[in-house]
Chain A
């Protein structure tokens, strides 16, 4: 599974599980770009069946209902949905 890397300031390991068609996911990416943080993302809807199933299992570890966007910071802090205030709080530290 290949994640796309957006280079920026290191605020920890930021991973975003997203859908290419989802407007809340697009807003999350825009906010991350605006904050200038380093992050990795994957558009799960663009994957083939096998890879998609694998990534869903991975997302479920952090978010059992596997909704998008799901953001994971340092394998620990999980933000489900587009939550601009929460994202800022975590990444503007």
Chain B
């Protein structure tokens, strides 16, 4: 299997960097203010998009099968918990307000992704009837926790832009 792909151009990196920065700020998240570091990660996201077809986390070893990697498609399922505990996500692409203000420096942090059998995409889906008193099923975005009550999850999370496949049945 050849993993070599066409190198992203500086213009492509810049374009995606600006888009991610805008989306992050609009949703209350922040990209790492170390632009050189952040652009290196954005470049890696583009490489992984070419290699796998999706933004597999650059700092984790992707399987290459989407269902296996679903929880580590950037932004990953673990970003918010790592931001709360360590002020940065696993790669330090996303950082907390204190890092943004220069009060803290991001570091290489421990992995919180559980063993394969405990990952949410392999847990049994909650099927069944809508709970009493609820007229619609409730869906939860596994990336940012956004909840909505409707027949189907939205195509894209209105808060963090995660795709439909990242939603789970909550109620």
Interface size on A, residues (CB 8 A): 23
Whether A22 contacts B44 by the Cβ 8 Å rule is yes
A89 to B134 Cα, complex, angstroms:
59
Q: CB of B75 within 8 A of chain A?
A: no
With A65-B111, A81-B109 already in contact, the answer to whether A23 and B61 are too (CB < 8 A) is no
B contact residues, range: 20 to 34
Residues of A35-50 contacting chain B, CB below 8 A: 44-49
Knowing A21-B47, A22-B44, A48-B1, say if A66 contacts B91 (CB, 8 Å): no
- Give the dominant DSSP class at B's interface: loop
Please tell me if A26 contacts chain B, counting CB pairs below 8 Å: yes
A residues in contact with B47, CB < 8 Å: 20-21
A21-B48, A65-B111 known; A44-B61 Cβ under 8 A: yes
Complex contact B3–A21 (CB within 8 A): no
A73 within 8 A of B: no
Which residues from B are CB-within-8-Å of A48?
1, 3
Which residues of B approach A to under 8 Å, CB–CB? 1, 3-4, 37, 40-41, 44, 47-48, 58-62, 64, 91-92, 107-111
Q: 16 A-B residue contacts at CB 8 Å?
A: A19-B61, A21-B59, A22-B58, A22-B91, A23-B44, A24-B91, A44-B61, A45-B3, A48-B3, A49-B1, A65-B111, A67-B111, A68-B60, A81-B109, A82-B108, A83-B108
